[in-house]
């Protein structure tokens, strides 16, 4: 592909539009950006306008008595201009970083309020020292304005549309000169008022107006583009997608000195800084000293002020026209060249002719080019540098060094050179020629980088299979060296994220893509040896590598590339979790539009991951495709892919901040105690969390989803009587269980479009919600939720056996327990709601639950015995329901003998299950402790009796429907049914006095209904524990 100037200079990213842009409606994009144009750009323009008014009004004040009134002489005026730029340069970068950290709204509002107060105070200065102090403070407060606004523009707008917006800021600078001249003319005309000279009123009026603007910005400037107050929910989602499209880099919002180093070490940043410094010599001299230059051309003070107005108007028009053409033709360099040429011609006219009309005409030519150069240059740099913090630091660096020109500009127009200021004008002309040379150097540098990239791409394509490289993040946008237009190669990714349909030939990211994406990030000192692919790849900055710290260069060497048509050998066992907080993980089914059998042959990296824009394909299986080993693939998506739907769902009956609400309800100490009760009494029924992670209980509370925590707390609340401190605390103040369930449900709504294992956990917890009134009718919601949790589990791939995946062992155990917990809850909800189970045996290959799934700390209170037995019983109940309670089964007319033949093996299986129960779960076992502890064995046996009831119901149907009362077989069945009911009644009677859980529930309800009387409150809690065993300890607390 031939290199042309457009490739180097274009401000558009053609390839970026291929990926996520397919999700963005063009009309929505136009509407969102239009709102920023209406609500943000005018405010930013006004900020710049008043900043430069307050900065340069000293030049207007000079021509009508400012120096004389303050006792200045000689080079004093030049010195106060220099003092301004000293603090301006020092504080520029800190202000920019503050904007990145706290958002532009408040930071910029504070800045303008501060500098406006300083400007207003300048109207009351009495001497040179006062003026110096004011100018030093003004420089400190104005320091970060322009680079901060440039950075904000680059955050909001696509690269192709930034030039015009940055141009608006520079046009505001030019207009500030015109407006300053107009205001100065009006104030000078009114003369002295109320004992204050006209120049004093100039500072007072402009400072007061700036203060009002600062107060407005405090409430009107948004903190971040995605949270702008004038956007609705859909528009905020669109803005998030726009940012993801225009900044496709994996970044953190935390400052890093490494990114400062990347900016400082990039030659492009230094070339741009030198270029801006040279051009700013002329610009600062022009803006500060234009009235002085005009007065030196033998114009009066009043004429010098109003004659500056048309010069600035032409400067504004020239800046706007240049940037418009730059964005339109996408050629930055050619648009940069003409600006310094115009400035050089203008100064040459002023130097070469003593005629004041010719000198005035020369100022018009200077104005036409002096502002547009800086506009296009900053757009060029902003488009080139990523990620965000590096770009912010780089822009601050470039602008800081450019502003250092103010130090020089303040000294090149000494009063002794009046009236023509030949030295100052000559120096400005010379520096503009250097700025012109810098354009050529930048262009050559970018051309060289692009050439090196092509060279590396060519070598990489030939040796890709054998390259040992560390894993890299790939993006669908391959930026050119200046970060402007995309470099589209033969392996270019063109499929949209929304379609997620990729063919093997057109979407697999090539070596070209990976290297192309990295080149703009850093200027490598080894660029001369870029032909040495391995060395270059190892020197890539860490923020371009995958977010797994254990990835090494050697990992890639162990990967054996698959051959189409042959079985893929076993893969290295590099364990990395599937549960990533920044991704939505979805299992790819075998009828999915992304065929898993074709995905097997994609060029996965060392971690068996394949990155695209917004999505990552993950292949966790240790085994290749062969008989009995189907391909296993997951699609991990960034949140932006489902942001709009997620926000729409989250706004429905959702709380604002569940974490804060939960913290208000449950303290950390109470949360730790409730977690322990959950492990003791509930975990055996719902082993859906990793006990290993509960070893650090406070960290578990901090890092776990508030919806999961709220559900666990709510289920543990009835057992507070078995914790000494909670027993006492709950007597006075107990968390409202209904509010805890509300938190869990609110979190669930927000995760439905972005599911994760925590979504499964919340569903399972919510399915165990019990109503306060035991006779209340259960709504269909529970069955809908039971079906939803099954669908979500399949989306997360829980229905696939993970034992041979490259994920940690505790994650494998948790995934298997989660799946079987889903099976149990879904199956028993199907029974209680009279529905047919959605489970299909041929769509699940998870092995039966076993003791290995409760290894180590994951088996508190012998939870494995209970849960394994319950899962086995659930399988039997599912078989009973499939045989007798589906719609097809109940629609057939069947005789009693046929039903009996099918029921007998199932009943026999139930007997075998009962006989095989571990001793710890048998009802005939007496607890080895006299303490009143809830016993869950009863629930297991009640479930067993329920299975028998289902069988007898199936047998009774034909007896009643066919009037078989006198049939001998029917008589035998009825007798067995009566015997069974007697047994059930006897067992139930035995359970009532001995079932401590029922007693605990009754006691909990009783305590909740006691509204007063402290003595009675203490009477219904665990009196022996509180008063006799722990009273002294509790009293001390």
For the segment 365-378, what is each residue's pLDDT rounded down to a tens digit? 888 888 778 778 87
More reliable by pLDDT, 267 or 262: 267
The mean-pLDDT minimum among 261-270, 644-653, 708-717, 848-857 falls in: 644-653
More reliable by pLDDT, 877 or 171: 877
The residues facing 621 across adjacent strands are 805
- Return the domain boundaries, the chain: 29-248+262-445, 467-640
In which band, very low, low, confident or very high, does the pLDDT at 66 lie, cut at 50, 70 and 90? confident
Hey, which of 166-180, 410-424, 801-815, 934-948 has the most confident mean pLDDT? 801-815
pLDDT at 545: 27
DSSP 626: B
Hey, which of 8-12, 522-526, 738-742, 889-893 has the most confident mean pLDDT? 738-742
pLDDT at 925: 52
pLDDT tens-digit map of 724-738: 777 766 655 678 888
Which residue, 568, 638, 552, 553, is CA-closest to 603?
A: 568
In which band, very low, low, confident or very high, does the pLDDT at 822 lie, cut at 50, 70 and 90? very high
Q: What is the mean pLDDT of residues 83-95?
A: 82
* Domain covering 29-248+262-445, topology: Growth Hormone; Chain: A; (1.20.1250)
Instruction: Classify residue 150 by burial, with Cβ atoms within 10 Å: 0-12, 13-18, 19+.
Output: buried
Distance CA 721, CA 932 (A): 10
In which band, very low, low, confident or very high, does the pLDDT at 626 lie, cut at 50, 70 and 90? low
**Residue 741, H or E segment:** helix 737-751
Given strand 634-637, what is the order of strands in its sheet? 584-587, 634-637, 615-618, 609-611
pLDDT at 894: 73
Q: Could you give the C-alpha distances from 65 to 71, 272, 301, in angstroms and in order?
A: 10, 39, 10
The mean-pLDDT minimum among 214-228, 266-280, 609-623, 919-933 falls in: 919-933
Q: What residues contact residue 932 under an 8 Å CB cut-off, 6+ apart?
A: 996, 999, 1000
Going by their DSSP bridges, the two strands 609-611 and 584-587 should be labelled as unpaired
More reliable by pLDDT, 381 or 501: 381
Q: What is the mean pLDDT of residues 103-126?
A: 85
Residue 748 has pLDDT above 50, yes or no: yes
Residue 254 has pLDDT above 60, yes or no: no
Residue 798 has pLDDT above 60, yes or no: yes
Distance CA 291, CA 413 (A): 12
Q: What is the mean pLDDT of residues 918-942?
A: 67
Q: What is the mean pLDDT of residues 549-566?
A: 31
Distance CA 436, CA 344 (A): 10
Hey, which of 75-89, 870-884, 933-947 has the most confident mean pLDDT? 870-884
Distance CA 1034, CA 1018 (A): 13
pLDDT at 699: 86
pLDDT at 256: 62
pLDDT at 309: 76
pLDDT at 343: 87
DSSP 616: E
Q: What residues contact residue 453 under an 8 Å CB cut-off, 6+ apart?
A: 481, 487, 515, 516, 519
Residue 1004 has pLDDT above 70, yes or no: no
The first and second tokens of residue 359, run together, are 């000198």
Q: How many CB atoms lie within 10 A of CB 353?
A: 14
Hey, which of 341-355, 482-496, 810-824 has the most confident mean pLDDT? 810-824
In which band, very low, low, confident or very high, does the pLDDT at 252 lie, cut at 50, 70 and 90? very low
Residue 422 has pLDDT above 70, yes or no: yes
Residue 640 has pLDDT above 60, yes or no: no
Residue 104 near residue 426 (C-beta atoms within 8 A): no
3-state DSSP assignment of residue 620:
coil
Distance CA 854, CA 181 (A): 81
Question: What string of H, E and C letters represents the secondary structure of 296-318?
Answer: HCCCCHHHHHHHHHHHHHHHHHH
**From its phi and psi, is residue 963 left (phi > 0), alpha (psi between -120 and 50) or beta?**
left
Question: Half-sphere exposure of 1035 toward its Cβ, with a 13 Å CA cutoff?
Answer: 6
* Percentage of residues of the chain with pLDDT beyond 90: 4
- Got the DSSP string for 486-546? B---TT-----TTT----HHHHSPPHHHHHHHHGGG---TTGGGTT-HHHHHHTS-GGGB-
In which band, very low, low, confident or very high, does the pLDDT at 985 lie, cut at 50, 70 and 90? confident
pLDDT at 498: 32
pLDDT at 997: 45
pLDDT at 387: 64
pLDDT at 824: 92
DSSP 342: H
Q: What is the mean pLDDT of residues 413-435?
A: 80
pLDDT at 649: 38
- Longest CA–CA separation in the chain, Å: 132
Residue 66 near residue 119 (C-beta atoms within 8 A): no
Q: What is the mean pLDDT of residues 322-340?
A: 79
Average pLDDT, whole number, for the chain?
71
More reliable by pLDDT, 939 or 381: 939
More reliable by pLDDT, 72 or 996: 72
pLDDT at 823: 94
Residue 1001 has pLDDT above 90, yes or no: no
pLDDT tens-digit map of 564-592: 333 444 455 556 666 666 677 777 765 55
Residue 821 has pLDDT above 90, yes or no: yes
The mean-pLDDT minimum among 392-406, 424-438, 657-671 falls in: 392-406
CA–CA–CA angle 106, 377, 138 (5° rounding)? 40
Q: What is the mean pLDDT of residues 242-248?
A: 67
pLDDT at 460: 45
In which band, very low, low, confident or very high, does the pLDDT at 762 lie, cut at 50, 70 and 90? very high
CA dihedral 620, 623, 626, 629 (to 10 degrees): -60
The mean-pLDDT minimum among 216-230, 382-396, 544-558, 967-981 falls in: 544-558
DSSP 584: E
pLDDT tens-digit map of 193-227: 777 888 888 888 888 888 888 888 887 888 778 87
The mean-pLDDT minimum among 125-134, 295-304, 486-495 falls in: 486-495
In which band, very low, low, confident or very high, does the pLDDT at 229 lie, cut at 50, 70 and 90? confident
Residue 433 near residue 344 (C-beta atoms within 8 A): yes
* Percentage of residues of the chain with pLDDT beyond 70: 67
Q: What is the mean pLDDT of residues 487-513?
A: 31
């Amino acid at each position: 592909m031939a290199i042309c100037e457009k490739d180097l200079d274009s401000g558009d990213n053609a390839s970026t539009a291929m990926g996520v842009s397919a999700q963005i409606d063009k009309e929505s994009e136009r509407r969102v950006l239009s709102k920023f144009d209406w609500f943000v750009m005018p405010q930013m323009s006004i900020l710049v306008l008043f900043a430069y008014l307050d900065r340069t009004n000293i030049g207007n004040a000079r021509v009508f008595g400012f120096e004389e009134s303050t006792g200045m002489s000689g080079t004093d005026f030049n010195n106060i201009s220099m003092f301004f730029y000293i603090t301006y340069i020092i504080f520029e970068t800190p202000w920019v970083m503050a904007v990145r950290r706290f958002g532009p709204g408040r930071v910029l509002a504070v800045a303008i309020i501060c500098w406006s107060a300083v400007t207003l105070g300048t109207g009351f200065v009495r001497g040179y020292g006062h003026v110096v102090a004011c100018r030093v403070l003004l420089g400190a407060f104005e320091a970060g304005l322009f680079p901060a606004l440039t950075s904000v523009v680059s955050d909001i707008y696509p690269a192709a549309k930034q030039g015009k917006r940055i141009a608006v800021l520079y046009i505001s600078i030019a207009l500030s000169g015109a407006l300053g001249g107009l205001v100065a003319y009006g104030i000078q005309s009114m003369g002295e008022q109320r004992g204050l000279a006209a120049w004093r009123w100039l500072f007072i009026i402009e400072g007061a107006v700036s203060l009002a603007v600062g107060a407005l910005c405090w409430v009107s400037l948004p903190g971040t583009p995605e949270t702008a107050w004038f956007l609705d929910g859909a528009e905020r989602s669109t803005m998030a997608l726009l940012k993801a499209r225009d900044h496709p880099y994996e970044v953190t919002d935390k400052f890093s000195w490494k990114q400062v180093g990347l900016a400082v070490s990039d030659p492009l940043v230094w070339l741009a800084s030198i270029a801006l410094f040279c051009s700013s010599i002329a610009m600062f001299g022009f803006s500060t000293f234009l009235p002085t230059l005009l007065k030196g051309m033998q114009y009066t003070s009043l004429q010098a002020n109003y004659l500056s107005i048309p010069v600035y108007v032409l400067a504004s028009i020239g800046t706007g026209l240049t940037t418009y053409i730059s964005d339109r033709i996408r050629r930055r360099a050619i648009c940069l060249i003409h600006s310094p040429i115009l400035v050089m011609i203008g100064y040459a006219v002023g130097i070469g002719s003593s005629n004041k009309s010719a000198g005035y005409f020369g100022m018009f030519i200077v104005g036409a080019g002096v502002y547009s150069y800086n506009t296009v240059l900053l757009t060029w740099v902003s488009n080139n540098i990523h990620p965000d913090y590096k770009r912010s630091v780089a822009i601050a660096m470039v602008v800081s060094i450019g502003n250092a020109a103010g130090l020089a500009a303040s000294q090149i127009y000494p009063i002794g050179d009046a009236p023509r200021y030949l030295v100052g004008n000559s120096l400005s002309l010379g520096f503009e020629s250097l700025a012109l040379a810098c354009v050529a150097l930048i262009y050559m540098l970018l051309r060289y980088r692009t050439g090196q990239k092509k060279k590396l791409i060519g070598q990489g394509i030939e040796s890709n299979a054998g390259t040992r490289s560390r894993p890299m993040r790939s993006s669908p946008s391959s930026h050119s060296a200046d970060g402007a237009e995309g470099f589209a190669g033969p392996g270019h990714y063109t499929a949209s994220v929304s379609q997620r349909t990729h063919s093997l030939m057109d979407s697999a990211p090539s070596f070209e893509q990976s290297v192309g994406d990295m080149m703009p990030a850093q200027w490598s000192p080894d660029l001369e040896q870029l032909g040495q692919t391995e060395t270059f790849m190892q020197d890539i900055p860490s923020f371009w590598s995958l977010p797994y710290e254990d990835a090494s260069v050697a990992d890639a060497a162990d990967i054996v590339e698959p051959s189409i048509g042959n079985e893929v050998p076993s893969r290295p066992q590099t364990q990395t979790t599937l549960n990533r907080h920044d991704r939505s993980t979805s299992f790819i089914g075998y009828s999915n539009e992304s065929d898993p059998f074709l995905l097997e042959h994609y060029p996965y990296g060392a971690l068996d991951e394949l990155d695209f824009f917004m999505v990552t394909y993950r292949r966790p299986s240790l085994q290749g495709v062969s008989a009995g080993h189907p391909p296993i693939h997951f699609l991990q998506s960034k949140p932006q892919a489902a942001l709009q739907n997620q926000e729409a769902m989250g706004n429905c009956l959702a709380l604002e901040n569940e974490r804060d609400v939960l913290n208000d309800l449950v303290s950390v100490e109470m949360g730790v105690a409730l977690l322990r009760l959950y492990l003791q009494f509930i975990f055996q029924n719902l082993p859906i969390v990793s006990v290993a992670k509960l070893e650090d209980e406070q960290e578990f509370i901090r890092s776990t989803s508030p919806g999961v925590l709220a559900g666990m707390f709510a289920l543990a609340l009835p057992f507070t009587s078995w914790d000494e401190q909670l027993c006492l605390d709950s007597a006075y103040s107990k968390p409202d269980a209904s509010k805890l369930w509300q938190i869990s449900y609110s979190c669930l709504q927000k995760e439905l479009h972005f599911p994760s294992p925590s979504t499964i956990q919340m569903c399972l917890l919510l399915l165990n919600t019990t109503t306060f009134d035991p006779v209340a009718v259960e709504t269909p919601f529970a069955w809908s939720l039971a079906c939803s949790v099954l669908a979500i589990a399949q989306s997360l791939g829980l229905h696939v056996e993970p034992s041979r995946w490259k994920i940690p062992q505790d994650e494998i155990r948790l995934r298997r327990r989660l799946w079987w917990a889903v099976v149990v809850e879904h199956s028993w909800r199907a029974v209680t709601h009279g529905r047919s189970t959605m489970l299909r045996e041929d769509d699940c290959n998870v092995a039966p639950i076993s003791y290995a799934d409760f290894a180590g700390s994951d088996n508190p209170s012998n939870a494995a015995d209970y849960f394994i037995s319950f899962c086995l019983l659930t399988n039997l109940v599912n078989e009973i329901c499939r045989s007798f309670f589906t719609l097809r089964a109940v629609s057939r007319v069947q005789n009693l003998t046929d039903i009996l033949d099918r029921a007998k093996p199932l009943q026999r299986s139930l007997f075998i299950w009962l006989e095989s129960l571990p001793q710890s779960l048998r009802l005939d076992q007496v607890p080895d402790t006299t303490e009143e502890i809830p016993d869950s064995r009863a629930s297991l046996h009640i479930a067993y009796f329920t299975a028998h009831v289902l069988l007898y119901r199936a047998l009774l149907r034909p007896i009643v429907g066919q009037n078989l009362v006198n049939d001998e077989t029917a008589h035998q069945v009825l007798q067995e049914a009566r015997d069974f009911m007697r047994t059930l009644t006897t067992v139930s009677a035995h359970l009532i006095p001995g079932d401590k859980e029922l007693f605990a529930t009754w006691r909990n309800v009783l305590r909740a209904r006691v509204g007063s009387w402290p003595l009675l409150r203490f009477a219904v809690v665990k009196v022996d524990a509180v008063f006799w065993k722990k009273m002294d300890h509790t009293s001390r607390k």
